[in-house]
Amino acid sequence: MPVNGYPNGQVPFHVLMAGRCRFHTARQSFDMAPGDVVLVPSGRPHRITVEGPGRAAGVTEQAGPAFLTTRSENLGDPVVDLFCGHFSVGPGAGALLFESIPDPIHVSFGRSEDTDRVLRQLSELMRGEAEREGQGTAVILSALCTALLAMVLRTSAGASTSARLWTAASDPSIASAIDAVHADPGRAWSIDVLARTARMSRSTFIRRFSRDTGMSVASFVTRSRLMSATEQLVIGGPPVAQVAAAVGYSSESAFSRAFRGALGVTPAQFRRQSARR
Q: Return the pLDDT at 245.
A: 95
What's the CATH architecture for 170-276?
Orthogonal Bundle (1.10)
Q: Return the pLDDT at 59.
A: 56
- pLDDT tens-digit series, residues 153-190: 777 655 545 455 666 677 889 889 999 999 999 999 99
CATH of 2-153, one of 2.60.40.10, 3.40.50.720, 2.40.110.10, 2.60.120.280: 2.60.120.280
DSSP category for residue 6: P
Give ranges for CATH 2.60.120.280 in the chain. 2-153
Give ranges for CATH 1.10.10.60 in the chain. 170-276
CA distances to 80, 128, 129, 156 from 134, rounded to whole Å, are 28, 11, 8, 35
**Mean pLDDT estimate for the chain:** 82
What average pLDDT does range 45-69 have in this prediction? 64
What average pLDDT does range 85-92 have in this prediction? 81
> pTM of this prediction?
0.72
